[in-house]
């Protein structure tokens, strides 16, 4: 299907002229399109190209009904022409195949910088004017369409949430294919066309994304149709995939598991026929695969795809100032620049735009002529109006009763459980309850079991379409857990899944969440912009569970020790970012249950997987999580008046160490009146004008006091707490202990010691911050120093923590002066099936719908 | 070269026994290895495997000279066995080929979790004991070797800087191949063997890294030998590359441009022969490619590589508790766990270790027997001792005289220049001066010209080994600029390059620097750990230039607007992270010049590329950058006493807006005494105990006062300034304006307005913070409100900024009350070749060597 002209001649011709001569009399070449169809699809393409150029250049005279004058041209020319005509070409042909086969199709446009073309198409389809009535299908509307592009208060130069039919921000490159596969999951009737630019194809995430086909079930999922668009150049360089030998490119795509059909050339007529033929063949093949699979046939063939090789800036100016432009990197952005100042440049622009013959395309009132308007699909079949791209499936999840999932907590520190294992039981129920709705998935880099969520495998498996062998663990064609050793893929799939209205959880190691910083960043920006668009439906939140966290990476060492993802998310806007640090299993349940009910958020939950003491019953957890922060009265001894000191904590390990420090202090300096405050929702700390969860000042002061020292044990980098609280009255008295990049290979407790987040350092900090305690305080400080020295010696010798440290728990009761009494209660070990019995726990209502 | 036994039988045999029966009488099979060589290489492998198991399990009885007792076993068993025997197998065979051909070879171990094997080999080679004499080559040393592994104060369970011969942290996966290619650049005599695990191969960065072969010049660069190690499973899942059909895998690798040789099986004798034959063939081919290329022949064939398919946990326990272990995901970490408590498990461990027959491998004193010791290469040919892996080439760069590169600055605001274009001239000189040393490269995602560094193309080109076509721009086989649309590759190449002692710069768009957050994070951790190792030489700093920054992303819109990379880097340790915000071209030169002289740092420099006013002459810039922060007296009007107000700024756009605000205030409320402070080195702000660049408190107070309001205009998220200064006396009076996620499509000035970082909002903030000015202050505030309203109306109408805003510059002189006087001096436009004449600028010494 090579539709190239004889190259030497073409090249020569291009150099000769400064203007396009784009198919005025398109000579018929045979192919699937009849003569009339060929002329019409070509005219539709011209219309899209015309509107694209108009957006980049014009602010008046949109239909060129008068000669082009300087004042018709925008003062600042911005946008990317290079990729646009290729996108318009693909769009026109997708329209044809949608109409012909009544397809349910959305499209993901990787070369999203080509927004002029995508906006033009949405306008040609009428969707744009339906959503933005100001931008009507008439001359005045067309002027608005042109003017708003890359203009203050208008739309950006790449595909953005403002573009109807899009689920994919076209700013940062690399994620189109992962988004496309995420959108296709559990949508068996859907086809997701995904245009991959040859620039984007060089990125790591995209290079890995091709393998997503090994996770897509042809029976229960939709199809993805990749269209690799080779236009040869990036900003200045040739692209790797366009320049590598053709046999290597085919081999690469076959190796990725695809069967490529090549459409190559620059002659419009031949290219239209080749593209139409390719789409016919590819859609036949998709239908055949679906049919076989759904008849139960084992047929996992190579997935069909198209490689479109077309000139960059196709149909644009052939040359400007004597330098070739069409087909070169010079057409990447604005191919002819000085159109306001330079009459010659302006003439090139005018000739270029007139070469599309707008007078044939648009009627007197400026609307698309009827014989072209019928080429667009109708209603929700339009790519720009497909309801999948606007989260039309965003039904809420059915969620289990937390009482069926909680762990029994006979008293603070009376039982141990692994928080994430408890969560696994909850997620198993979520999967069961939504089995038929097929709208919940779990993604993770091969860590579902490692993160102890394995109860989910009671009811589902790991999605896998490759061969299965004896000994494989819970592989399942239709598995709802998706594991691949690529955080990029996990995150990208989940984004595509939630952007099309379904729900999910991405569970990953805390330290390596940074791998997807930039993806989460772009998703946050998408949510921020969408929220300003009334027509955009809310999308289920992106829920990220960080486990295997910084404080329990003993043997893995420094590379696995990093809590910085929280800081990254905390930089995002208050209307988007949520960060939860549940201190134990039941609070983790409450927080997750809450997150799964929310929309338009990025929820980050940090929770350990190791056996740990449990502090709160489900009832208490519900109350505590609803408030987001609270005084733990059972741990405090402040009495009637204000305490001498607040011991605050956020995170599971910091909470344990704080309670151990408080226990120690209450034994050794019982006259010290301590308040224990636990923070589960980090965003209660900033002021309410900064974050909607922020406590008002009186409430904050009632917890943290206005003038007492606050020793704050925090899971992450300590300065985040300072940042969040710096406007608070009492901020000057905050002493925050957190991770200070003193990681190494060591034991859990020693890791805390190295970072001064352990009970002894926290108690020391309390003694130093608290009012003078005289000799008693000095004795206590000495005892703490001794304890630290003893720990140090023991751990280096034995490789383990001191038993009295490791096995410490909160005593059943504290009495003043019970200095040396150690209470050895029975510690209950909770397995994954131990749950609080119904009736033991109280209501779980009251927090679910709060955002 | 398939060395698999008939699979059914093997599988059956495995299930039968609980212990390994690993080649006690290794039956000879023919191949390149003679009978003696075969037995010896096998014995060497057994020794490495023995030492690997010992590290995971034992803390005493290292040579098993007495029966294994519970107390010999570590209390906490940590580490990854699964990948280790395969790595040991590869290591033994690399040793053979190094010796045979006197190769200069380093190795990058992607499956770095297999550190027990890599440490074992460094120990067998003697390097480990040379560097860590405590870990001697005797029984006592072996006990230390075992004990230290994953033990408090010891070494982590993955390859880390402590491992001699390594340039690659094995914690986070994905970067091995990029590191390997980076190391090979400009080392024409070097071969970099790079083992890629099949887990790691699923990551995005690794998937893209295969294409690095398109940038490696066989004439002037070294060779990379990828060894894809398929052991079938990750933690729990099969791996994609091991499970996909064999023909697809071959096709994929061929598509990536490689010619794979497959070594597959589980019978040691046959596998040894197959691996030896494969290495012989591959090294022949590498030699042939080098020879052809260096004879000037155009021969860019497929790069040879090896695919090694071997069982996970090879030679480990066949089964434990009735479940198969060898060859399954169950051998990923510790294959038999309860060895301290469970005698049956302990017996499996003992049988396993004894199956390697340590008594044949180690002499009476515990040292490796001489007939095996000779199998290791000697001296610097040892992989663990190759000087390339310890930055032995780390000669300083020759750097140009800044006077030859600076722009003339006749007075503050009297000239315009593009800062990065000026830098391009400097970098051109750096490239020229180090042409012969071949130790400087520039990496970037196709943005060298976009970021206006194109002067470098006067003296070099873009590295490119694929076909070249007419119209290509500055492609060059031996180009020193490396451009690919993958920040991961750019960063990974540069890391490999600097870790082997060479210098470079990674120039990228600010918003998308987040793509490499996690890579930079891991590099920072590497630097932190290396610095504690006296034997590790310093490595040249990782220099990152962020251009096309948040404040000038007008048309690109919100997706391109993100200054968060700074925050990310600011979380790293003070001994590693440096952040510079030069306000103009000459300061950018000084800062970059400084960065290129440093070692062991991550230097982040943020600089705009747009034409902007210049403030400082080179002399002034040198002084200013040396201090890192300073009062701009020429802009201040504080007089003899303390000012009423400090206007501080950091970043090019914030500096311009601050000066415009000060100008406005001095015209409208001349009685207000203002001090202007500019911050170029962000790390002068925190306290010196937090960061070595931190100013002491008296100096800080002398700049920012102890009690005057400070209006601080900052390039990034404002809270970072609060965080850095929160311990300072005057912190309560800081009013920071920065990016608050109010991005959109707009003009440069309007972008500032939306985020309240513009001159009018800054002046407003000054008026509100400053002492009461009475009616005059109220009038001024009203004028500011009017100015903002006028701007708003104008920009929405015209798409451009008000001329008086856009064209404002600092007046030649300020006189009290010169309210309405606008000074229209001649503004000089500096092109890339305009530099300050020698003699105009003063000395540039005095700051160069400061870290």
pLDDT in tens, A470-517: 989 999 999 999 999 999 999 999 999 999 999 999 999 999 999 999
Mean pLDDT in residue range A42-46: 98
CB within 8 A of B7, min separation 6: which ones? Answer: none
Specify the pLDDT at position B397: 96
Specify the pLDDT at position B799: 87
Does the structure show a pLDDT above 80 at A438?
Answer: yes
Contacts of residue A518 in chain B, CB cutoff 8 Å?
Answer: 512, 514-515, 517
What is the layout of strands, in order, in the sheet containing A602-606? A475-476, A462-463, A481-483, A440-444, A503-509, A542-547, A602-606, A577-580
Does the structure show a pLDDT above 50 at B839?
Answer: no
Does the structure show a pLDDT above 60 at A820?
Answer: no
Contacts of residue A795 in chain B, CB cutoff 8 Å?
Answer: 152
C-alpha B327/C-alpha B83 separation (Å) is 10
What is the layout of strands, in order, in the sheet containing A415-418? A611-613, A415-418, A828-829
Mean pLDDT in residue range A406-429: 96
Specify the pLDDT at position B573: 86
Instruction: Say whether A745 and B151 touch across the interface (CB within 8 A).
Output: yes
Q: What is the DSSP string of B532-573?
A: T-TTSPP-B-EEEEEES-GGG-TTT-GGG---HHHHHHHTS-
Query: A645 - beta bridge partners?
Result: A674
C-alpha B226/C-alpha B176 separation (Å) is 10
CB atoms within 10 A of CB B411: 17
Query: A463 - beta bridge partners?
Result: A476
Q: How confident is the model at residue A799 (pLDDT cuts 50, 70, 90)?
A: confident
Contacts of residue B511 in chain A, CB cutoff 8 Å?
Answer: 171-172
Specify the pLDDT at position A840: 32
Quick one: which of B105, B300, B103, B111 has its CA closest to B213? B300
Quick one: which of A26, A20, A54 has its CA closest to A41? A26
Q: At what angle do helices A35-57 and A343-354 cross, to 10 degrees?
A: 150
Instruction: Say whether A252 and B251 touch across the interface (CB within 8 A).
Output: yes
C-alpha A604/C-alpha B449 separation (Å) is 39
Contact B349, B250 (CB under 8 A): no
State the nearest Cα–Cα gap between B780 and chain A, in angstroms: 27
Specify the pLDDT at position B14: 34
Instruction: Say whether A745 and B559 touch across the interface (CB within 8 A).
Output: no
Higher pLDDT, A146 or B726: A146
C-alpha B405/C-alpha B417 separation (Å) is 13
Q: Does B342 touch chain A (CB under 8 A)?
A: no
Contact B626, B643 (CB under 8 A): no
Buried b (16+ CB within 10 A) or exposed e, A79-103: bbbbbbbbbbbbbbbbbbbbeeeeb
Specify the pLDDT at position A815: 52
In angstroms, how far is the first alpha carbon of chain A from the final one?
54
Residue numbers of A between 139 and 178 with CB closer than 8 Å to B: 147, 150-158, 160, 169-174
Q: Name which of A243, A471, A518 is nearest B515 (Cβ-Cβ).
A: A518
Domains contained in chain B, CATH given: 35-389 (3.40.50.970), 402-466+473-619 (3.40.50.970), 630-807 (3.40.50.920)
CB within 8 A of A131, min separation 6: which ones? Answer: A164, A535
Tokens of B305: 């590589």
Specify the pLDDT at position A587: 98
Share of chain B above pLDDT 70, in %: 92
CA atoms within 13 Å, Cβ hemisphere of B417? 36
Output the CA torsion A597→A603→A608→A611 (10° steps). -10
Q: What is the mean pLDDT of chain A?
A: 91
State the nearest Cα–Cα gap between B236 and chain A, in angstroms: 7
Q: Which of A238-242, A588-592, B821-825 has the lowest mean pLDDT?
A: B821-825
Contacts of residue B158 in chain A, CB cutoff 8 Å?
Answer: 556-557, 559
Q: At what angle do helices B35-57 and B115-124 cross, to 10 degrees?
A: 120
Contacts of residue A687 in chain B, CB cutoff 8 Å?
Answer: none
Q: Does residue A501 come out as left (phi exceeding 0), alpha (psi in the -120 to 50 range) or beta?
A: left
Q: How confident is the model at residue B830 (pLDDT cuts 50, 70, 90)?
A: low
Predicted confidence (pLDDT) per residue in B212-258, tens digit = 999 999 999 999 999 999 999 998 899 999 999 999 999 999 999 99
Predicted confidence (pLDDT) per residue in B536-567, tens digit = 999 999 999 999 899 988 777 888 999 999 99
Predicted confidence (pLDDT) per residue in A382-416, tens digit = 999 999 999 986 789 999 999 999 999 999 999 99
pTM, entire model:
0.94
Residue numbers of B between 610 and 669 with CB closer than 8 Å to A: none
State the nearest Cα–Cα gap between B97 and chain A, in angstroms: 30
Contact B96, B278 (CB under 8 A): no
Q: Name which of B153, B245, B745 is nearest A156 (Cβ-Cβ).
A: B745
Residue numbers of A between 350 and 369 with CB closer than 8 Å to B: none
Does the structure show a pLDDT above 50 at A835?
Answer: no
Does the structure show a pLDDT above 90 at A762?
Answer: yes
CB atoms within 10 A of CB B733: 18
Q: Does B813 touch chain A (CB under 8 A)?
A: no
Q: Beta strand pairing status for B462-463 and B475-476?
A: parallel
Query: B233 - beta bridge partners?
Result: B238
Does the structure show a pLDDT above 60 at B297?
Answer: yes
C-alpha B664/C-alpha B598 separation (Å) is 40
Instruction: Say whether B248 and A240 touch across the interface (CB within 8 A).
Output: no
Mean pLDDT in residue range B181-206: 97
State the nearest Cα–Cα gap between A565 and chain B, in angstroms: 9
Quick one: which of B530, B516, B538 has its CA closest to B395? B538
- Per DSSP, B25 falls in state T
Annotate B118-136 with three-state secondary structure.
HHHHHHHCCHHHHHCCCCC
Specify the pLDDT at position B171: 87
CA atoms within 13 Å, Cβ hemisphere of A668? 23
Q: Give start and end residues of each alpha helix (H) in B185-265.
A: 204-209, 240-243, 246-255
Q: Does B298 touch chain A (CB under 8 A)?
A: no
Instruction: Say whether B518 and A514 touch across the interface (CB within 8 A).
Output: yes
Q: Does B78 touch chain A (CB under 8 A)?
A: yes
Q: Does B236 touch chain A (CB under 8 A)?
A: yes
- Per DSSP, A671 falls in state T
Does the structure show a pLDDT above 80 at A525?
Answer: yes
C-alpha B404/C-alpha B834 separation (Å) is 10
Specify the pLDDT at position B301: 73
A109 φ, ψ (degrees, to nearest 5): -105, 95
Specify the pLDDT at position B772: 78
Specify the pLDDT at position B697: 97
Exposed, middle or buried, A498 (CB in 10 Å: 0-12/13-18/19+)? buried
Specify the pLDDT at position A299: 52
Q: Give start and end residues of each alpha helix (H) in B268-418.
A: 268-294, 343-354, 358-361, 370-373
Instruction: Say whether A558 and B156 touch across the interface (CB within 8 A).
Output: yes
Helices and strands of chain A, counted as H and E runs: 27, 24
CB within 8 A of B80, min separation 6: which ones? Answer: B113, B114, B115, B116, B157, B158, B332, B333
Q: Which of A208-222, A413-427, A564-578, B834-848 has the lowest mean pLDDT?
A: B834-848
C-alpha A422/C-alpha A416 separation (Å) is 11
Instruction: Say whether A557 and B521 touch across the interface (CB within 8 A).
Output: no
A41 φ, ψ (degrees, to nearest 5): -65, -35
Q: How confident is the model at residue B827 (pLDDT cuts 50, 70, 90)?
A: low
Specify the pLDDT at position A210: 98
Owner of token pair 């949520």: A578
Max mean pLDDT range (B385-394, B550-559, B596-605): B596-605
Specify the pLDDT at position B828: 61
Owner of token pair 């003296």: B459
Q: Does A511 touch chain B (CB under 8 A)?
A: yes
Contacts of residue B517 in chain A, CB cutoff 8 Å?
Answer: 514-515, 517-518, 568
Higher pLDDT, A770 or B379: B379
Q: Name which of A324, A558, A795 is nearest B525 (Cβ-Cβ).
A: A558
Share of chain A above pLDDT 90, in %: 83
Quick one: which of B814, B835, B815, B845 has its CA closest to B413? B814
Q: What is the mean pLDDT of chain B?
A: 91
Contact A483, A444 (CB under 8 A): yes
Predicted confidence (pLDDT) per residue in B620-669, tens digit = 999 999 999 999 999 999 988 889 999 999 999 999 999 999 999 999 99
State the nearest Cα–Cα gap between A687 and chain B, in angstroms: 13
Predicted confidence (pLDDT) per residue in A730-761, tens digit = 999 999 999 998 878 888 899 999 999 999 99
Contact B715, B738 (CB under 8 A): yes
Mean pLDDT in residue range B386-405: 92
Q: Name which of B169, B489, B741 is nearest A528 (Cβ-Cβ).
A: B741
Contacts of residue B451 in chain A, CB cutoff 8 Å?
Answer: none
Does the structure show a pLDDT above 80 at B37?
Answer: yes
Does the structure show a pLDDT above 80 at B51?
Answer: yes
What is the layout of strands, in order, in the sheet containing A629-631? A629-631, A674-679, A645-650, A710-714, A734-737
Query: A362 - beta bridge partners?
Result: A368
Output the CA torsion B208→B210→B215→B221 (10° steps). 140
Owner of token pair 């030679």: B315
Does the structure show a pLDDT above 50 at B823?
Answer: no
Specify the pLDDT at position A826: 56
Does the structure show a pLDDT above 70 at B699?
Answer: yes
Contacts of residue A747 in chain B, CB cutoff 8 Å?
Answer: 76, 152
C-alpha A756/C-alpha A763 separation (Å) is 10
C-alpha B628/C-alpha B578 separation (Å) is 11
């Amino acid at each position: 299907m090579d539709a190239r002209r004889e190259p030497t001649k073409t090249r020569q011709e291009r150099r000769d002229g400064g203007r396009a001569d784009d198919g005025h009399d398109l000579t018929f070449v045979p192919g699937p399109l009849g003569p009339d169809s060929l002329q019409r699809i070509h005219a539709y393409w011209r219309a899209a190209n015309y509107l694209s150029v108009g957006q980049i250049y014009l602010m008046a005279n949109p239909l060129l009904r008068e000669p082009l004058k300087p004042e018709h041209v925008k003062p600042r020319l911005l946008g990317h022409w290079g990729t646009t005509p290729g996108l318009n070409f693909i769009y026109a042909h997708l329209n044809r195949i949608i109409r012909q086969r009544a397809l349910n199709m959305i499209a993901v446009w990787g070369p999203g910088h080509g927004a002029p073309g995508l906006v033009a198409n949405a306008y040609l389809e009428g969707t744009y004017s339906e959503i933005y009535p100001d931008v009507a299908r008439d001359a005045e509307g067309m002027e608005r369409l042109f003017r708003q592009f890359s203009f203050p208060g208008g739309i950006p130069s790449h595909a953005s949430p403002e573009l109807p039919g899009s689920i994919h921000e076209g700013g940062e490159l690399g994620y189109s294919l992962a988004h496309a596969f995420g959108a296709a999951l559990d949508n068996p009737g859907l086809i997701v066309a995904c245009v991959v630019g040859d620039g984007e194809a060089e990125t790591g995430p995209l290079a890995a994304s091709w393998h997503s086909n090994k996770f897509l079930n042809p029976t229960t999922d939709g199809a993805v149709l990749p269209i690799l668009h080779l236009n040869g150049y990036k900003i200045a360089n040739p692209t790797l995939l366009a320049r590598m030998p053709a046999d290597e490119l085919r081999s690469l795509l076959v190796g990725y598991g695809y069967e490529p059909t090549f459409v190559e050339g620059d002659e419009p007529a031949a290219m239209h026929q080749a593209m139409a033929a390719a789409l016919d063949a590819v859609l036949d093949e998709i239908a055949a695969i679906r049919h076989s699979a759904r008849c139960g046939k084992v047929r996992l063939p190579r997935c069909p795809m198209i490689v479109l090789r077309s000139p960059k800036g196709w149909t644009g100016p052939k040359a400007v100032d004597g330098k070739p432009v069409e087909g070169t990197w010079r057409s990447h952005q604005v191919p002819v620049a000085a159109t306001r100042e330079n009459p010659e440049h302006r003439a090139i622009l005018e000739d270029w735009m007139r070469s599309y013959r707008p007078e044939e395309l648009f009627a007197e009132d400026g609307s698309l002529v009827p014989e072209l308007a019928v080429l667009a699909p109708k209603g929700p079949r339009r790519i720009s109006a497909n309801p999948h791209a606007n989260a039309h499936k965003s039904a809420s999840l059915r969620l289990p009763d937390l009482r069926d999932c909680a762990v029994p907590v006979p008293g603070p520190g009376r039982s141990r459980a692994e928080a994430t294992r408890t969560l696994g039981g909850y997620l198993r129920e979520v999967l069961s309850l939504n089995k038929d709705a097929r709208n919940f998935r779990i993604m993770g880099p091969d860590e579902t079991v490692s993160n102890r969520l394995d109860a989910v495998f009671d009811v589902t498996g790991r999605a896998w379409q490759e061969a299965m062998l004896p000994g494989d663990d819970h592989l399942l064609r239709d598995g709802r857990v998706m594991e691949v050793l690529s955080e990029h893929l996990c995150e990208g799939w989940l984004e595509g899944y939630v952007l099309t209205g379904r729900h999910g959880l991405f569970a990953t190691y805390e330290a390596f969440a940074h791998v997807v910083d930039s993806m989460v960043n772009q998703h946050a920006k998408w949510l921020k912009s969408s929220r300003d668009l009334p027509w955009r439906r809310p999308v289920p939140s992106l829920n990220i569970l960080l486990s295997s966290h910084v404080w329990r990476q003993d043997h893995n060492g420094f590379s696995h020790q990093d809590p910085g993802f929280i800081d990254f998310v905390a930089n995002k806007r208050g209307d988007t970012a949520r960060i939860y640090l549940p201190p134990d299993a039941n609070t983790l349940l409450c927080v997750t249950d809450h997150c799964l009910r929310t929309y338009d958020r990025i929820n980050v939950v940090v929770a350990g997987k190791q056996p740990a003491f449990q502090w709160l019953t489900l009832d208490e957890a519900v109350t505590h999580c609803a408030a987001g922060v609270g005084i733990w009265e059972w741990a405090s001894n402040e009495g009637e008046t204000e305490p001498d000191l607040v011991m605050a904590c956020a995170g599971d390990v910091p909470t344990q160490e704080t309670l151990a420090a408080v226990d120690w202090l209450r034994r050794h300096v019982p006259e010290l009146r301590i308040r224990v405050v636990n923070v589960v929702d980090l965003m209660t700390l900033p002021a309410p004008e900064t974050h909607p969860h922020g406590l008002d000042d009186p409430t904050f002061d009632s917890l943290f006091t206005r003038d007492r020292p606050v020793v704050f044990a925090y899971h992450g980098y300590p300065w985040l707490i300072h940042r969040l609280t710096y406007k608070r009255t009492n901020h000057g008295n905050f002493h925050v202990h957190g991770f200070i990049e003193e990681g190494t290979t060591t034991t859990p407790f020693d890791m805390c010691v190295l970072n001064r987040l352990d009970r002894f350092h926290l108690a020391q900090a309390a003694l130093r911050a608290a009012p003078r305690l005289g000799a008693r305080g000095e004795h206590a400080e000495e005892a703490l120093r001794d304890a630290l020295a003893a720990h140090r010696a023991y751990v280096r010798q034995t490789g383990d923590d001191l038993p009295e440290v490791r096995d410490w728990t909160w005593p059943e009761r504290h009495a003043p002066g019970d200095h040396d009494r150690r209470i050895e209660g029975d510690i209950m070990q909770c397995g994954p099936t131990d749950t609080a019995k119904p009736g033991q726990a109280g209501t779980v209502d009251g927090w679910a719908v709060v955002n």
